[in-house]
Amino acid sequence: MELKVTGINKSFRSTAGEEKVEILHDISFTVREGSFVSIIGPSGCGKTTLLRIISGIESPDNGRVLLGDREISAPVRDVGYIFQESALLPWRTVQKNIEFGLEVAGVGRKEREQRALASLELVELKGFGGYYPREISGGMKQKVALAMALVVEPRVLLMDEPFVSLDCQTRSYLQQVLLHVWEKTGKTVIFITHNVEEAVFLGDEIICLTGRPTVVGTVVPVDIPRPRERTSPELNRVRREILLFLEEERQKAGAR
C-alpha cells in the first residue's frame, strides 16, 4: 500500500501575536510500499510537524495523507510512530511495555506474550524482557520503542530522529538493527534525521526539505545496493549532493 502525501499546508500562530506563520507549503510526495525514505531538512523547518500530520495526530490546514485509498485523519494502527526519546512506562518491565499496545487492543494474554517475545527477538533484545526501563541503556530503550511499534503490526513506521541522542557506535548499531528489521518485515519506513550520513546510509530515497516556508526542495534517489559500505565512493557522492543542497538552502535562508 502506497503512502501518498498531497498538497499539505500548515501554519501556526506565532506566540508573539495574531500573525500566522506558514511552516509547510504544498508538500507532496509518494512513498512506495516497503521502501525506506529518509527526510532531511534544517532544524525548525517542520519535520516533526509533517510526521505528526502523516500519523494523523495533527491535522493539516490543506492537503491529505492517503494510505492506499484510505485517508488518514486520526491515528490508526497501520501507522506506528517512534519518537526522538522513547517514552517507556517506568513501572512496567520491557516485556510489559511491549505488551501495552496489545492490552489496549484487547489481545489475550497468551498471544500478547508470544507477540512481545517475537518483537523482542526481532530487535535483538531476547532475554531482556524482565528488565525495567531504568536498568537498560539509551540504545536498548530505543530498541524497546521499536519493538513496541512493531508488535501491533503497522504497515508504516514513522521515525522522528530516533537515534539522535545516542553515541556514534550505538547509533551505527541501531541503524543496522533497523535495516535488519526492515528487510525482514517489509514495512514502509519514513525516517526523519538531520544527519546526512544516516539519511544516505539508510534510505532508498532522500526527501530534502528547504527552510521555511518549507517545500520539498529535491528528492534524491540512492540507487546503491545493500548491504552498503558506509565509506563507499557511491555513498559519498550522494552525501555530497545533499550537503551541497543543504548549503545552498542555508545561503538562501541567510539572504532572506
Ligand X SMILES: Nc1ncnc2c1ncn2[C@@H]1O[C@H](COP(=O)(O)OP(=O)(O)O)[C@@H](O)[C@H]1O
Locus of grid cell 501556526: 12
Which lies closer to ligand X via its Cβ, residue 12 or residue 236?
12
Closest CA to 129 of 32, 119, 77: 119
Residue 49 in the binding site for ligand X (CB under 6 A): yes
What single-letter amino acid sits at 237? R
> Do the beta carbons of residue 151 and residue 101 sit within 8 Å?
yes
Q: What are phi and psi of 97, to 5 degrees?
A: -65, -45
Rule CB under 6 A: choose which of 8, 25, 40, 46 binds ligand X: 46
Options 23-31, 42-50, 89-97, 247-255: segment touching Mg ion (CB under 5 A) = 42-50
Q: What is the DSSP letter of 47?
A: H
Instruction: Compute how many other C-beta atoms are within 10 angstroms of the C-beta atom of residue 220.
Output: 20
Residue 44 in the binding site for ligand X (CB under 6 A): yes
Please state the closest distance from residue 68 (CB atom) to ligand X, in A: 26
Binding mask 67-96 for Mg ion (x = CB under 5 A): ------------------------------
Q: What is the CA radius of gyration of the chain?
A: 19
Residue 165 in the binding site for Mg ion (CB under 5 A): no
Residue 9 in the binding site for Mg ion (CB under 5 A): no
Q: Can you say how many angstroms the Cα of residue 198 is from the centroid of all Cα atoms in its chain?
A: 12
Residue 23 in the binding site for ligand X (CB under 6 A): yes
Residue 199 in the binding site for ligand X (CB under 6 A): no
Locus of grid cell 516497503: 34
Residue 20 in the binding site for ligand X (CB under 6 A): no
Options 15-23, 43-51, 169-177, 233-241: segment touching Mg ion (CB under 5 A) = 43-51
Rule CB under 5 A: choose which of 6, 11, 48, 170 binds Mg ion: 48
Rule CB under 6 A: choose which of 25, 47, 155, 239 binds ligand X: 47
Distance CA 182, CA 190 (A): 11
Which lies closer to ligand X via its Cβ, residue 47 or residue 115?
47
Distance CA 165, CA 21 (A): 29
Q: Which residues bind Mg ion (CB under 5 A)?
A: 47-48
Binding site for ligand X (CB under 6 A): 12, 23, 43-49
